[in-house]
Amino acid sequence: MKTRTFIDNAQTERAVSAKTLSGIRRTVLNSLEYMHIDFPCEVSIKLVSPDEIRQLNRDFRGIDEQTDVLSFPSGEYTYGEQPQLNKNTRVFLGDMAICVDIAYKQSYVGHSPRMELELLTAHSMLHLLGFDHRTKKEEKDMFFKQDEILKMRKTN
């Protein structure tokens, strides 16, 4: 599968290693594999500061506070449908913004900042594919999928 993952590390609060960036890319691929997405895709990820995530949250959701991740599905794809593509096109799934500083603060012993960034990536990928957690059932289903995607990191 020819998937492109663009990552823009636009924050300066925390160092982000090449290994962490690789883990984020791998999580994108694992998410697509787990969800049986077998067509070429593109995903854009911006690693942001607490101030930028707050501004994005305020501008797009009307919530004037920091958060860990925001997802912006492109609308080009509806989960379960097979897109009509020619050999040179990809489906743009959308953008995500991840606050690295918040990810570091949410990590704990046995759960590294890299793991938290991968968790947030899996979570956001599910949102880009159309999943949400507005109800308890949706939340349980989405978090199950998220955990299964993260388990794949040990085998891939």
What pLDDT is attached to residue 155? 63
Domain extent, residue 91, equals 4-154
Into how many domains does the chain fold? 1
What pLDDT is attached to residue 16? 96
CA 89 to CA 130: how far, in whole Å? 21
What pLDDT is attached to residue 131? 95
CA 122 to CA 82: how far, in whole Å? 21
Q: Count the residues in the chain.
A: 156
What pLDDT is attached to residue 70? 98
What pLDDT is attached to residue 11? 97
pLDDT along the chain (156 residues), means of 10: 91 95 97 94 98 98 97 93 85 97 89 94 97 94 96 76
For residues 83 and 40, the answer to whether their CB atoms sit within 8 Å is no
What pLDDT is attached to residue 156? 54
CATH number of the domain residue 145 falls in: 3.40.390.30
